[in-house]
Structure 1
Amino acid sequence: MGEEEKEKLLHEVEKKCLEEEESVGKRVWEESKKMWVVAGPAIFTRFSTFGIMVVTQSFIGHIGSTELAAYALVMTVLVRFANGVLIGMASALETLCGQAYGARKYDMLGVYLQRSWIVLFIASIFLLPIYIFTTPLLEALGQDKTIARVAGSISLWSIGIIFSFTVSFTCQMFLQSQSKNKIIAYLAAVSISLHVFLSWLLTVQFKFGLNGALTSTLLAYWIPNFGQLVFIMTKCPDTWKGFSFFAFKDLWSVIKLSLSSGAMLCLEIWYNTVLILLTGNMKNAQVSIDALAICLNISGWEMMIALGFFAAAGVRVANELGRGSSKAAKFSILITVLTSFVIGFVLFLMFLFLRERLAYIFTTDLEVAKAVGDLSPLLSFSILMNSVQPVLSGVSVGAGWQSIVAYVNIGCYYLIGIPVGVLLNHFFHLDVKGIWIGMLFGTFVQTVMLITITLKTNWDKQVELARNRVNKWTLVENEEPTISS
Structure 2
Amino acid sequence: MSRAPNGSSGPSGLEHPAFSSSFRSGSPLAEQVLAQDIAACSDDDFDPADDLLDPDQPHHFMYRRPSGVAYGAARPAFNPSGLEEPILTPLERKQSRDAERSLLRDNHVLPPKHANKSQSLPARMYRKMFSTKVPVEESGDETDEDEPLLSRDPDRDYGTQARRQRSAVEGEEDVDEQWEEAITSGRIRTTWQREVKTVLSYCGPLIVTFFLQYSINVAGIFAVGRIGTIELGAISLANMSQAISCLAPFQGLATSLDTLCAQAYGSGHKHLVGLQCQRMACFLLTLSVPVIILWLFGAEPILQRMVPNPESARLAGLYLRVMIFAIPGVILFECGKRFTQAQGLFQATTYVLLFAAPFNVFLTWLLVWKLEYGFVGAPMAVAITENILPVLLFCYVRFVNGRECWGGFSKRALTNWWVMIKLALPGMIMVEAEWLAFEILTLLASRFGSDYLAAQSVVSTIASISYQIPFPMSIAASTRVANLIGAGLVDAARVTGKVTFVIHCILGLLNFTLYSSLRFHLPLLFTDDETVISIVASILPVVAVMQVFDCTSAGAHGLLRGIGKQSIGGPVNLISYYAISLPISLSLAFGLGWKLQGLWAGVSVGLFLVTTIEYTYLLKTDWNTAAREAAARNAAG
**Matching residue of 2:391:** 226
1:421 to 585, 592, 598: 585
Could you tell me whether the CA contact under 8 Å between 1:412 and 1:446 is conserved in 2? yes
Does 2:137 correspond to 1:16?
yes
Query: Structure 2: how far apart are the matches of 1:281 and 1:207?
Result: 31
Query: Structure 2: how far apart are the matches of 1:306 and 1:91?
Result: 21
Could you tell me whether the CA contact under 8 Å between 1:99 and 1:320 is conserved in 2? no
Query: Structure 1: how far apart are the matches of 2:334 and 2:222?
Result: 25
Amino acid of the structure 1 residue aligned with 2:440:
V
Describe the shift of the 1:139–1:310 C-alpha distance in structure 2 as closer, same or farther (beyond 3 A): farther
Following superposition, the deviation at residue 280 of structure 1 comes to: 1.2
Could you tell me whether the CA contact under 8 Å between 1:351 and 1:376 is conserved in 2? yes
Following superposition, the deviation at residue 376 of structure 1 comes to: 0.8
Query: Structure 1: how far apart are the matches of 2:200 and 2:388?
Result: 27
Amino acid of the structure 1 residue aligned with 2:465:
W
**Matching residue of 2:530:** 366
Could you tell me whether the CA contact under 8 Å between 1:95 and 1:398 is conserved in 2? no
Render the CA deviation track for 1:173-194: whole Å, top value 9, x for unaligned: 4545665323322321221211
**Matching residue of 1:49:** 213
2:252 to 81, 88, 98: 88
Does 2:489 correspond to 1:288?
no
1:300 to 464, 470, 476: 464
Query: Structure 1: how far apart are the matches of 2:281 and 2:405?
Result: 16
**Matching residue of 2:322:** 157
Amino acid of the structure 2 residue aligned with 1:361:
L
Could you tell me whether the CA contact under 8 Å between 2:261 and 2:276 is conserved in 1? yes
**Matching residue of 2:427:** 261
Does 2:574 correspond to 1:407?
no
Describe the shift of the 1:449–1:118 C-alpha distance in structure 2 as closer, same or farther (beyond 3 A): farther
Q: Secondary structure at the match of 1:221?
A: helix
**Matching residue of 2:615:** 451
2:630 to 451, 463, 476: 463
Does 2:560 correspond to 1:439?
no
- Between stretches 312-321 and 251-260, larger displacement belongs to 312-321
Structure 2: 5+ residue runs without aligned partners? Answer: 1-133, 142-186
Following superposition, the deviation at residue 449 of structure 1 comes to: 3.4
Query: Structure 1: how far apart are the matches of 2:351 and 2:452?
Result: 37
**Matching residue of 1:62:** 226
Could you tell me whether the CA contact under 8 Å between 2:233 and 2:455 is conserved in 1? no
Describe the shift of the 1:320–1:348 C-alpha distance in structure 2 as closer, same or farther (beyond 3 A): same
Does 2:318 correspond to 1:197?
no
Could you tell me whether the CA contact under 8 Å between 1:326 and 1:463 is conserved in 2? no
- Between stretches 230-239 and 326-335, larger displacement belongs to 326-335
Could you tell me whether the CA contact under 8 Å between 2:192 and 2:499 is conserved in 1? no
Could you tell me whether the CA contact under 8 Å between 1:42 and 1:181 is conserved in 2? no
1:354 to 481, 498, 518: 518
Q: Look at both structures and tell me which one has the larger radius of gyration over its CA atoms.
A: 2
Describe the shift of the 1:159–1:305 C-alpha distance in structure 2 as closer, same or farther (beyond 3 A): farther
Query: Structure 1: how far apart are the matches of 2:557 and 2:284?
Result: 21
**Matching residue of 2:155:** none
Normalised by the size of structure 2, how large is the TM-score?
0.62
Q: Secondary structure at the match of 1:280?
A: helix
1:235 to 401, 411, 416: 401
Following superposition, the deviation at residue 293 of structure 1 comes to: 0.8
Aligned residue runs from structure 1 range 127-166, under 5 A = 127-132=291-296, 133-166=298-331
Q: Secondary structure at the match of 1:356?
A: coil
Describe the shift of the 1:14–1:360 C-alpha distance in structure 2 as closer, same or farther (beyond 3 A): closer
Could you tell me whether the CA contact under 8 Å between 2:216 and 2:357 is conserved in 1? yes
Q: CA RMSD in A?
A: 3.8
**Matching residue of 1:342:** 506
Query: Structure 2: how far apart are the matches of 1:25 and 1:237?
Result: 40
**Matching residue of 2:281:** 117
**Matching residue of 1:476:** none
- Between stretches 234-243 and 183-192, larger displacement belongs to 234-243
Describe the shift of the 1:425–1:345 C-alpha distance in structure 2 as closer, same or farther (beyond 3 A): same
Render the CA deviation track for 1:378-419: whole Å, top value 9, x for unaligned: 222333233233454456667887765443333111111101
Does 2:308 correspond to 1:187?
no
Query: Structure 2: how far apart are the matches of 1:117 and 1:329?
Result: 38
Q: Secondary structure at the match of 2:521?
A: helix
Describe the shift of the 1:319–1:92 C-alpha distance in structure 2 as closer, same or farther (beyond 3 A): farther
Following superposition, the deviation at residue 150 of structure 1 comes to: 1.4
**Matching residue of 1:381:** 545
Query: Structure 1: how far apart are the matches of 2:527 and 2:626?
Result: 49
- Between stretches 453-462 and 291-300, larger displacement belongs to 453-462
Q: Which has the higher contact order (CA 8 A, sep 6+)?
A: 1
Normalised by the size of structure 1, how large is the TM-score?
0.79
Query: Structure 2: how far apart are the matches of 1:66 and 1:43?
Result: 32
Following superposition, the deviation at residue 262 of structure 1 comes to: 2.1
Does 2:334 correspond to 1:169?
yes
Q: Secondary structure at the match of 2:594?
A: coil
Could you tell me whether the CA contact under 8 Å between 2:244 and 2:436 is conserved in 1? yes
**Matching residue of 2:445:** 279
Render the CA deviation track for 1:40-90: whole Å, top value 9, x for unaligned: 222212212222222211221222322222111101343365333333333
Structure 1: 5+ residue runs without aligned partners? Answer: 1-12, 472-485
**Matching residue of 1:481:** none
Query: Structure 1: how far apart are the matches of 2:339 and 2:504?
Result: 23
**Matching residue of 2:53:** none
Q: Secondary structure at the match of 1:355?
A: coil
Render the CA deviation track for 1:290-331: whole Å, top value 9, x for unaligned: 11110100111112223323544566677788x776858777
